[in-house]
């Protein structure tokens, strides 16, 4: 009896195990099928339909942390909240420290080239196809946005091919022949008369060429908002002497900011076949060249706001969007800490600076023309626009005798220097800015780029491929692989 019972029980157990296995396999299959259905883009499985590549020019990890600590308080940045993090080396084919042309070529084509070259091989004979061109060939729409001139090195690397970034007019001409759908941000420096005059082959005014290629030109918010989706558009806003947007901290309300260029770009490019959009925070680099920490922090915040627009789009299309944020190189050798300050930082002192170095330098230039601003008057301006000397606000801003002497020397040298046209050598503004940066405990090691690897943040379809440590050429290669973009033989 006992034996029979035991035997029956074993049969039951076996049956139960088989049944359990069947149920487990079925449930798992259903679960994975559901997961795939939820995540896959409608129509084309596993390929992102909407691709964003954000490039913070000159934006190293120290720059990101500076901006976050100075301007965001408890609120975290979108870019640093993205789930995937990688790092990329940035060297050029011929130099350890790269420039925006070689780095832009790496990010746009997946190939190393020489410094100064725009999406061509280092031999300057062969052009390199860009991911933007590959996306266009696949039927996607393409948008290129930058806070500096639209024919500056980084944006140029996505639509143009030239032996040198200096040929800005020839680069701008290629904007009109690119067939891309949206250009937004700074003006075309190549279209400045002095640059038109430099070209070997003048093909006409860039605006005329853009019109002939059926681009609508929008010069302000109202005009940009009136452009209908699907219409090819070149949009710019008020620009400075170098064709760039104002530094974010100097921007007037009526000027279009990087976030609006991005938002409107998304509106114009959105279509069932998808789009590729590159957005550059170009003035971060300019601020870092000048060692202007406050301006860099504000421009990163503006860049962050633009990323926020793409992130909001990602949230509406999570299974169909890939968002990648990186930098082309670090600039300025920025460190958060300084030998003379030890463990002390006073980043909050940077809040006393309320104009960029560029804007302050324009004032210094005006003083020089007027010849009526004395050194004590100049010191008053320093106090108002940068903070040093404003002991009423903070005793840490006090000027020592040595500081005063140093500033007076820089002021005298600046006022004495030859003045010709718009060019003027200004030793005073950098001296004022350095004084504030030193007090804040910020260290700058260079006025040029550095070879420090840069961070890569990513989210969305295929984003996990961006984990790890790799070369900047791999960023383009990964995008090509994930989006199944057709790369021609080299
Ligand atoms: Zn630079």
Residue 160 has pLDDT above 80, yes or no: yes
Residue 473 banded pLDDT, cuts 50, 70, 90: very high
- Annotated binding-site residues for Zn(2+) read 57, 285, 289, 328-329, 449
Better-scored residue on pLDDT, 77 or 178: 178
Residues 225 and 97 in one domain: yes
The tally of CA atoms less than 13 A away on the side-chain side of residue 26 is: 6
Ligand 1 center–CA 423 separation, angstroms: 20
The position carrying tokens 């421009």 is: 299
Question: Looking at residue 110, which CATH number applies to its domain?
Answer: 3.40.720.10
Residues 177 and 297 in one domain: yes
Known catalytic residues?
100
Question: In this structure, are residues 100 and 328 in contact, taking their beta carbons and an 8 Å threshold?
Answer: yes
Q: Provide the 8-state DSSP code for 228.
A: P
Ligand 1 center–CA 457 separation, angstroms: 21
pLDDT tens, residue by residue, 161-213: 999 999 999 999 999 999 999 999 999 999 999 999 999 999 999 999 999 99
pLDDT tens, residue by residue, 8-67: 444 444 545 444 444 444 544 444 444 444 444 444 458 999 999 999 999 999 999 999
What are the phi and psi torsion angles at 452 (to 5°)? -65, 135
Question: Dihedral (C-alpha) 140, 145, 150, 156: value to the nearest 10 degrees?
Answer: -50
Q: For residue 101, tell me if it sits in a domain.
A: yes
- DSSP alpha helices (H): ranges in 82-125? 100-109
Residue 323's region, left for phi above 0, alpha for psi from -120 to 50, else beta, is beta
Q: What is the pLDDT of residue 489?
A: 72
Sign of CA dihedral 112, 113, 117, 120: negative
Residue 490 has pLDDT above 70, yes or no: no
User: Which has the closest alpha carbon to 97: 336, 330, 290?
Assistant: 330
Residues 380 and 369 in one domain: yes
Q: What is the pLDDT of residue 215?
A: 98
Mean pLDDT value of segment 77-86: 96
How far apart are the C-alpha atoms of 99 and 403, rounded to whole Å? 34
Q: What is the pLDDT of residue 487?
A: 83
Residues 238 and 385 in one domain: no
Residue 482 has pLDDT above 50, yes or no: yes
Question: In this structure, are residues 185 and 145 in contact, taking their beta carbons and an 8 Å threshold?
Answer: yes
Better-scored residue on pLDDT, 424 or 36: 424
- Annotated binding-site residues for Mg(2+) read 57, 152, 154, 280
Ligand 1 center–CA 146 separation, angstroms: 14
Q: What is the pLDDT of residue 46?
A: 81
Sign of CA dihedral 457, 461, 462, 467: positive
User: Which has the closest alpha carbon to 327: 347, 349, 304?
Assistant: 304
Residues 330 and 360 in one domain: no
Query: In degrees, to the nearest 5, what angle opens at C-alpha 195 toward C-alphas 193 and 201?
Result: 105
Ligand 1 center–CA 268 separation, angstroms: 30
Quick count: other Cβ atoms within 10 Å of Cβ 228? Answer: 9
Residues 229 and 321 in one domain: yes
Least confident of 70-79, 87-96, 287-296: 70-79
Better-scored residue on pLDDT, 4 or 381: 381
Tokens standing for 3? 């034996």
How far apart are the C-alpha atoms of 197 and 169, rounded to whole Å? 9
- DSSP alpha helices (H): ranges in 161-257? 168-177, 193-196, 206-212, 221-226
**Domain range for 330:** 50-334+448-483
Ligand 1 center–CA 288 separation, angstroms: 8
Residues 311 and 360 in one domain: no
Q: What is the pLDDT of residue 372?
A: 87
Quick count: other Cβ atoms within 10 Å of Cβ 259? Answer: 18
Ligand 1 center–CA 82 separation, angstroms: 26
How far apart are the C-alpha atoms of 459 and 276, rounded to whole Å? 15
Least confident of 11-20, 76-85, 111-120, 301-310: 11-20
Share of residues in the chain with pLDDT > 70 (%): 88
Residues 109 and 189 in one domain: yes
Residues 344 and 415 in one domain: yes
Residues 192 and 314 in one domain: yes
Q: For residue 222, tell me if it sits in a domain.
A: yes
Residues 343 and 320 in one domain: no
How far apart are the C-alpha atoms of 483 and 490, rounded to whole Å? 19
Ligand 1 center–CA 342 separation, angstroms: 29
Give Rg (Cα) of the chain.
27
Ligand 1 center–CA 58 separation, angstroms: 6
Better-scored residue on pLDDT, 11 or 473: 473
How far apart are the C-alpha atoms of 349 and 393, rounded to whole Å? 10
- Annotated binding-site residues read 57, 152, 154, 280, 285, 289, 328-329, 449
Residues 328 and 341 in one domain: no
């Amino acid at each position: 009896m006992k034996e029979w019972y035991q035997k029956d029980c074993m049969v039951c157990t076996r049956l139960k195990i088989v049944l359990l296995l069947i149920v487990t396999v079925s449930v798992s299959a259903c679960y994975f099928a559901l997961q795939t259905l939820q995540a896959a883009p409608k129509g084309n499985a596993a390929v992102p339909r909407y691709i964003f590549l954000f490039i913070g020019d000159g934006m190293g990890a120290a720059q990101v942390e500076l901006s976050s600590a100075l301007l965001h308080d408890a609120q975290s940045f979108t870019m640093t909240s993205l789930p995937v993090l990688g790092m990329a080396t940035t060297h050029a084919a011929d130099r350890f420290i790269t420039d925006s042309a070689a780095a832009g070529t790496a990010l746009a084509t997946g190939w190393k080239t020489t410094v100064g070259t725009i999406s061509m091989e280092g031999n300057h004979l062969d052009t390199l196809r860009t991911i933007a061109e590959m996306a266009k060939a696949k039927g996607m729409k393409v948008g290129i946005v930058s806070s500096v001139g639209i024919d500056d090195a980084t944006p140029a690397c996505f639509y143009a091919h030239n032996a040198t970034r200096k040929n800005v007019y020839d680069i701008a001409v290629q904007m009109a022949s690119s067939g891309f759908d949206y250009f937004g941000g700074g003006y075309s420096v190549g279209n400045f008369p002095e640059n038109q005059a430099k070209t070997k082959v003048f093909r006409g005014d860039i605006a005329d060429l853009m019109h002939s290629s059926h681009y609508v030109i929008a010069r302000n918010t109202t005009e940009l908002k009136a452009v209908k989706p699907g219409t090819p558009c070149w949009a710019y806003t008020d620009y400075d002497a170098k064709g760039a947007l104002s530094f974010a901290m100097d921007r007037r309300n009526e000027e279009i900011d990087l976030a609006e260029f991005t938002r409107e770009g998304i509106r114009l490019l959105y279509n069932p076949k998808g789009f590729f959009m590159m957005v550059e925070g170009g003035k971060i680099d300019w601020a870092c060249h000048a060692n202007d920490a406050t301006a860099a922090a504000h421009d990163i915040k503006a860049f962050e706001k633009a990323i926020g627009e793409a992130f909001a789009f990602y949230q509406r299309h999570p299974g169909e969007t890939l968002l990648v944020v990186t930098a082309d190189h670090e600039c300025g050798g920025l460190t958060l800490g300084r030998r003379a300050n030890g463990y002390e930082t006073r980043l909050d002192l940077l809040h006393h600076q309320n104009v960029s170095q560029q804007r302050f330098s324009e004032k210094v230039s005006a003083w020089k023309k007027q010849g009526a601003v004395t050194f004590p008057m100049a010191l008053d301006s320093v106090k108002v626009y940068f903070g040093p000397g404003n002991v009423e606000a903070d005793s840490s801003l006090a000027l020592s005798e040595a500081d005063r002497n140093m500033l007076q020397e820089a002021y005298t040298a600046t006022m004495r220097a030859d003045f010709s046209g718009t060019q003027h050598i200004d030793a005073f503004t950098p001296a004022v800015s350095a004084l504030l940066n030193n007090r804040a405990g910020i260290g700058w090691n260079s006025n040029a780029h550095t070879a420090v690897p840069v961070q890569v943040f990513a989210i969305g379809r295929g984003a996990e491929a961006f984990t790890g440590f790799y070369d900047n050429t791999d960023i383009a290669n990964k995008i090509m692989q994930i989006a199944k973009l057709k790369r021609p033989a080299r």
